[in-house]
Structure 1
Amino acid sequence: MCHVLIIEDEPLIALDLEDLLQANGARSFSFADRQDNAIEASRKTHPDFIVSDVTLLQGTGPLAVEAIRGELGPIPVIFVTATPDACSPCAPPGRVFRKPLDRRAIGDAFRSMAFAA
């Protein structure tokens, strides 16, 4: 089973990502639209994978991911953003994709990162 935390403040994009990732093997999802909600969601259900926007309603996706990884250890992440230059800290092993969504590239990256082990 692959549980994905989607950190995205645009509901239609979050639902599109859910559909895309489910088609590529994800089985369950948590959603957050704010930095603090993302951290709390990860505490309730440990994600196997994270997909995050950069700019959120409150805080940033990269800072949420950094805090989550600090508590739970390494978790693969894909950042999907309209502002890739603002993606900080987005150091590897994360991948950064520009909006609008490149469904094929994101699906390929998800499969290779989530099921590499």
Structure 2
Amino acid sequence: MCHVLIIEDEPLLAFDLQDMLAAAGATSFAFAETEDDAVSEARARRPDVITSDVMLREGTGPQAVAVIVEEIGPVPVIYITGSPDQCAPCDPPARVLAKPVADAMVRAAFREVAPVT
């Protein structure tokens, strides 16, 4: 099983990502539109992988990821953003994909970081 936390404030894109990730092998999902929601979702169920936009309606994806990693430990992250230059901190091993992003790119990045089961 691979549980993915999708941090994205555009609902249609979040559902598109869910479809792409399910096709790549993800088995369950949680969604968050804000920094605080993302942290709450990660506390409720530890994600195996996180996908995150950078700029959110409230807060940022990188800040949410920083709090999550501080609380629960390392989690593979794929940033999918229209503003890759503002992705900070988005240090390796995090992947950064620029929107618009191709389905194949998302699946490939997921397969690289997803835990092997």
What TM-score bracket applies, with the shorter chain setting the length?
A: over 0.9
Q: Secondary structure at the match of 1:54?
A: coil
Instruction: Name the CA distance, whole Å, in 2 between partners of 1:105 and 1:45.
Output: 26
Instruction: Name the CA distance, whole Å, in 2 between partners of 1:116 and 1:90.
Output: 23
Indicate yes or no: 2:37 matched with 1:75. Answer: no
The residue type paired with residue 13 of structure 2 is I
- How many equivalent residue pairs? 117
Q: Which residue of 2 aligns with 1:3?
A: 3
Q: Secondary structure at the match of 2:54?
A: coil
> Cα RMSD over matched residues?
1.0
Instruction: Name the CA distance, whole Å, in 2 between partners of 1:59 and 1:65.
Output: 11
Maintained 8 Å contact 2:48/2:115: no
Q: Which residue of 2 aligns with 1:35?
A: 35
Instruction: Name the CA distance, whole Å, in 1 between partners of 2:116 and 2:105.
Output: 16
Q: When the two structures are superposed, what TM-score results if normalisation uses the length of structure 2?
A: 0.97
| CA distances 1:48-75 after superposition (whole Å, capped 9, x unpaired) | 0000000001000000001100001010
- Which 5+ residue runs of structure 1 have no aligned equivalent? none
Q: Which residue of 2 aligns with 1:63?
A: 63
